[in-house]
Amino acid sequence: MAIVLNPYLGFRGQAREALEFYASVLGGTPAISTFAESGMPEAGDGVMHGQLDVPGGLTLMASDAPPDMDLPSDSSVTVSLSGGPEDAGTLRRWYQGLSAGGSNVMPLDRAPWGDEFGMFTDRFGTHWMVNIAGAEA
């Protein structure tokens, strides 16, 4: 089995909504386990673990912080989506879809290094970067 590195996003009561939103843009169906289902009824129906396997091999995980657990408000983590010119259409659609309702940090446009690049924060507070290597603008 190969070692993989996957983004694991933390939320305070929005993990289910976020995973469903990400699935509507990226594809796939979220698999969700709640705290109550996992023997922690005091934490209710919050998401203990959620996973979205996106067609093409991407995996995104998320959970809600239990009420007694701190959730850092500032994070230096950004989810990066990158591909080549053959992926340009998909990456542009994902940029448009995921950024809807969020805040645009840098529009997806030609970057000084020649790629198409953009950054945004989605409506759940997750930071994203999209890079299309060698793409025609």
Which residue segments constitute the domains of the chain, with CATH numbers given? 8-64 (3.10.180.10), 78-132 (3.10.180.10)
**3-state class (DSSP) for residue 65:** coil
Backbone angles phi, psi at 77, to 5 degrees: -85, 135
Hey, which residues does 82 pair with through a beta bridge?
A: 131
- pLDDT per residue of the chain (137 residues) written in tens, 0 to 9: 778 889 999 999 999 999 999 999 999 999 999 998 888 777 778 999 999 999 999 999 999 988 777 776 666 789 999 999 999 999 999 999 999 999 999 999 999 999 999 999 999 999 999 999 985 65
Rounded to an integer, what distance in angstroms lies between the CA atom of residue 90 and that of residue 98?
A: 12
Containing H/E element for 94? helix 88-99
